Amino acid sequence: MENKKKIKIGLIGLGTVGSGVYKTLKNFDNVEVTKIAVRNLNKPRNIENLDNSIVTDKPYEVVNDPDIDIVAELIGGIEPAFDLIKTAIKNGKHIVTANKELLAKHGEELFNFAEKYNKVVLYEAAIAGGIPLIMPIKTILAGNKINKIEAILNGTTNYILTKMDVQGASYEDVLKEAQELGYAEADPTGDVEGFDAAYKITTLATITFRKRVKLENVYREGITKIRAQDMQAANDLGYKIKLIASANIDEQGRADVRVHPMLVSKKSTLAHIDYVTNAVSLEGHPVGSVTLSGPGAGEFPTASSVVGDILAIANELGTSDYILPMMRCQHNTAAIPVSISDTVNKYYISINAKNNKGVIGKIGTICANNGISLASIVQRGVSDDNTADITVITEHVLEKDMQKAIEEIEQDEFINKVNSLIRVQI
């Protein structure tokens, strides 16, 4: 068996992750990278002894190469990635991808296409970098009915929120610092407005619940409105503020999937996931509750997942006509989407009001008229301009009732501004 032929790998992309994958694959005798597509041939690479003869700036050379067995797509975005993957599948290649956006927007089409050609698409690296997640859910946890996911899936926003908490600094200041350190992009929209986390929870919920979740049904809210004052108030109340991607499914197959900031109890594991670490908590039967945490991005953590997928395929090649059946897409029914306005939540509200007698009573009355009970209401000092900051935590309330109450509070003559409305973990 010593002379078993090496499995040939083609890489599309040699950025941070691609470089990590290339370096890591060097440690394995049964695989070899025979072609790499890059955008810019002249860009200096932090790779020793890279054989430039295998590098091309024509990605179709990789997917059309008849000798390549597995293609790893590590460039992200929809096009040209999607067409390159489809071309590779048509040409008989299995796929490993880290492309969360593509999976969230075209996952169904992609998996159906792969199945038609009897090819496997693995994507461990697309959800939470180096955290082993997809394979455990599809194999070890397959005997569970998992009905709840709560996760921190974006390192940039978690880093910003952690720094705001530790330094008592404003969002703007911390974002600037994160950009200078390379933790946040020059255009941070994809991270700070929750798009990245929304892509990830869409796919994660789909495979965990075994029902298709559509991206357009995922409620999304970013962290740009979180203030240093909210951080302080949350701490005083026994919470940390995190950007949480969550998904719940009920017995009828109704799925409530969303990404938004949340006050998370300091007693919960996710409250202590800091800086660029990611974590995923799953609840189900019979396992109960399990949390997986680790590095959600970076050269080697993400490479760990990509290489794991490549080796999983490489080890199966030639063993059967239908490899890795457990890892394939095994569902085609859609979850019934639940609109955010029909969900029940607890809320933290920060209100700036004129320092008048009866203003707290007024807030209480408006809430009561909308069927909202208050768990606590605290006035925090009076400023020089004779205004007061009032912090409210509600009991369980229907989102649409909460939004109606907020509208009424904002119209009240004694209220200057509702500064924040943040949901509270229940």
Give pLDDT tens digits along the chain (426 positions).
445 789 999 999 999 999 999 999 999 999 999 999 999 999 988 898 899 999 999 999 999 999 999 999 999 999 999 999 999 999 999 999 999 999 999 999 999 999 999 999 999 999 999 999 999 999 999 999 999 999 999 999 999 999 999 999 999 999 999 999 888 999 999 999 999 999 999 999 999 999 999 999 999 999 999 999 999 999 999 999 999 999 999 999 999 999 999 999 999 999 999 999 999 999 999 999 999 999 988 899 999 999 999 999 999 999 999 999 999 988 789 999 999 999 999 999 999 999 888 899 999 999 999 999 999 998 877 777 889 999 999 999 999 999 999 999 999 999 999 999 999 998
The pLDDT value given to residue 154: 97
Q: Which one of the listed residues 35, 200, 211, 362 is annotated catalytic?
A: 200
Q: Is residue 2 part of a domain?
A: no
Claim to verify: residue 191 and residue 160 sit in the same structural domain: yes
Q: Is residue 332 part of a domain?
A: no
The pLDDT value given to residue 136: 95
Containing domain of residue 359, as a range?
A: 340-424
The pLDDT value given to residue 277: 96
Claim to verify: residue 323 and residue 238 sit in the same structural domain: no
**pTM across the whole model:** 0.95
Tell me the CATH number at 159.
3.30.360.10
Assess whether 417 carries a catalytic annotation.
Answer: no
The pLDDT value given to residue 102: 98
Query: Which ranges constitute the DSSP H helices of 26-138?
Result: 59-63, 81-90, 100-116, 125-128, 134-138
Q: What residues contact 44, with CB distance under 8 A and at least 6 apart?
A: none
Q: Is residue 277 part of a domain?
A: yes
Neighbours of 323 (CB within 10 A): 18
The pLDDT value given to residue 355: 86
Claim to verify: residue 259 and residue 143 sit in the same structural domain: yes
Length of the chain: 426
Looking at residue 4, what DSSP letter applies? P
Q: Is residue 334 part of a domain?
A: no
The pLDDT value given to residue 182: 87
Q: What is the residue type of 417?
A: K
| Angle (deg, nearest 10), helices 155-167 and 228-236 | 70
Claim to verify: residue 282 and residue 269 sit in the same structural domain: yes
Q: How far apart are CA 131 and CA 122, in angstroms?
A: 14
The pLDDT value given to residue 1: 43
Query: Which ranges constitute the DSSP H helices of 249-383?
Result: 299-316, 359-369
Claim to verify: residue 186 and residue 243 sit in the same structural domain: yes
Claim to verify: residue 291 and residue 304 sit in the same structural domain: no
Claim to verify: residue 79 and residue 54 sit in the same structural domain: yes
